[in-house]
Amino acid sequence: MPHATEHHDDHRPTDERLSDITGTLWEPPIGVVLRPFRAFAQLSAAGGLLLGLCTILALVWANSPWGDAYNRLWGTYVTVGSGDLVIRETLGHCVNDGLMAVFFFVVGLEIKREVLVGELASPRRAALPIAAALGGMAAPALIYVTLNRSGAAASGWGIPMATDIAFALGVLALLGSRVPVALKIFLTALAIADDLGAVLVIALFYTDAIAWGALAAGLGVLGLLALANRLGARRTLVYALGGLGVWAAFLASGVHATIAGVLVALTIPARSVIDADAFVTRARAILDMFDHAGHHDGEAGTTEEQHAALQALEDAVDHVEAPLSRLEHALQPWVAFAILPVFALANAGLDLSGDVGSMLAEPVTLGVLFGLLLGKPLGVTAAAWLAVRAGVADVPEGLTWRQLHAASWLAGIGFTMSLFIAALAFGDGPLLAMAKLGILAASVLAGAIGWTLLRSAPLAADAPDQRRS
């Protein structure tokens, strides 16, 4: 049977072979129109590009004749609930405390996935990105504290510790095939370990006075979600309702509500419960049902029986796929193309009508700027080198130290998490404006330097073997 032989000998990637199948399906006119937009959304750089555009829009808006409207918009109070169950916050705080909880939930899902099956699952594979992340957090904080030893400014030491994975991977995507897949994996694992460190910093050092009763209630609901996982509950509605309860309790407790997102993510089931033979048998039976229930006279459209078969197939797939994977795939587009752009729009609006030169000379600005721009690449590279020299880690196959060092500059793009921590550290006021200026300047410079160094770095195949140097 030639067809079977062709299928057996087809060693192309799975996504290419699937495209042969899905490409034969009829596509409505609206699908043809939307196809370019789907292709754009699938680009690795798309989320970072939109984030950058919203940052520019926020800066232009804040410095335009409508700058007062920008400040009034995000300072507008929003009330949710009634009676004793009322939450009243500014629109800016709704973004930072509410929408960003979803972002932190996805961060938690990514951390759990990486720890279970990703680069952080094996101690030896995890050693390099974890060491690099620790060095990349310690060096910037040390530089900042050196320049801001006391006073209100000292509380900003956590600002330059973070890495913005969306922007960093966006820069890598712009370089195309010059960036090895191993380097993208290393930078992603580093950023996830970095995010975990930032979450711990926020929880331990940027938390207000704690209302222990509300915190106990939140932890109690969290325990129930963990129990639901152990008992085999796989419906996302269970975790969504429980997650809302944990978020509300943490918000009332004084512990920053976004921490609830990470903790709830850790309770989401991560493993598939699958009988492969039973699933294949069921799927084939459903597809046979779909085929026999269709029109056989050339008439377009699907029958009622085919709709039922499609729903049954969707339910079968939902039961096979792990809830963690399903939620991560469902929420990532919302985070990349809605939540983070709105966050940038709400937080990146820096008024530059004052003396920018004087602001650049302020210790807070310099601490953030030098922390991200110099501390990050220095800390990441030095810690990674020490881990390799100590024999606890290896440089991934196909990478050179020059490429790793170039990528370490991209870790200096702090943006999202840095802006978030700056708002926690300083609230509104001149110190926050200085921190924002340092974050924006460092992120632009770090991205440009990292891109230039990676652009000029020879590929591993063309470079001398220096992976253990």
**Residue-level pLDDT at 243:** 94
Same domain, 53 and 142: yes
Q: Is residue 114 part of a domain?
A: no
Whether residues 61 and 139 fall in one domain = yes
Q: Report yes or no: 316 and 279 within 8 Å, Cβ to Cβ.
A: yes
- Is 310 a member of any domain? yes
Same domain, 76 and 196: yes
pLDDT at 24: 47
Q: Please name which of 274, 321, 323 lies closest in space to residue 109, comparing C-alpha atoms.
A: 323
What residues contact residue 224 under an 8 Å CB cut-off, 6+ apart? 242
Q: Does a structural domain hold residue 418?
A: yes
**Does residue 136 fall inside a structural domain?**
yes
**Residue 466 CB contacts under 8 Å (≥ 6 apart), including other chains:** 400, 401, 402
300 and 413 share one domain: no
Start-to-end C-alpha separation, the chain: 54
Asked, for residue 102, whether it belongs to a domain, the answer is: no
Q: Classify 78 as helix, strand or coil.
A: strand
Rounded to 5°, angle at Cα 279 from 273 and 283: 145
What is the predicted pLDDT for the residue at 439?
Answer: 95
Q: Are residues 185 and 50 in the same domain?
A: yes
- CATH number for the domain including 55? 1.20.1530.10
Q: What is the pLDDT of residue 288?
A: 76
Total domains, the chain: 2
> Do 378 and 307 belong together in one domain?
no
User: Are 186 and 407 in contact, with CB atoms under 8 Å apart?
Assistant: yes
Per-residue pLDDT of the chain (469 residues; tens, 9 = 90+): 444 444 445 555 444 554 454 444 445 555 544 444 444 445 445 777 888 899 999 999 999 999 999 999 998 998 887 766 777 888 988 898 889 899 999 888 988 888 887 778 888 888 999 999 999 999 999 999 999 998 999 999 999 998 887 788 778 877 777 788 888 888 888 988 888 888 889 888 887 778 889 999 999 999 999 999 999 888 888 999 999 999 999 988 888 888 899 999 999 998 776 666 677 777 777 777 877 776 555 555 567 777 777 777 776 666 667 888 888 888 888 888 899 899 999 998 888 887 888 889 999 999 999 999 999 999 999 999 999 999 999 888 888 899 999 999 999 998 888 999 999 999 888 999 999 999 999 999 999 999 999 888 776 555 554 444 4
From the list 451, 379, 371, 457, the residue with the least C-alpha distance to 414 is 371
Cβ atoms of residues 74 and 346 within 8 Å: yes
Give dist(CA 207, CA 219) in Å, integer: 16
pLDDT (0 to 100) of residue 295? 56
Question: Of the candidates 91, 201, 61, which has an alpha carbon nearest to the alpha carbon of residue 138?
Answer: 201
Position 44, amino acid: S
Same domain, 159 and 280: no
Q: Read off the tokens for 458.
A: 């020879």
Q: Is 416 a member of any domain?
A: yes
Are 360 and 456 in the same domain? yes
- The DSSP bridge partners found for residue 79 are 88
Give the domain range for residue 285: 273-320
**17: three-class secondary structure by DSSP:** helix
CA distance 101 to 99: 5
Is the Cβ–Cβ distance between 197 and 163 less than 8 Å? no
In a domain, 420, yes or no: yes
428 shares a domain with 313: no
User: Is 220 inside any structural domain?
Assistant: no
Residues 310 and 424 in one domain: no
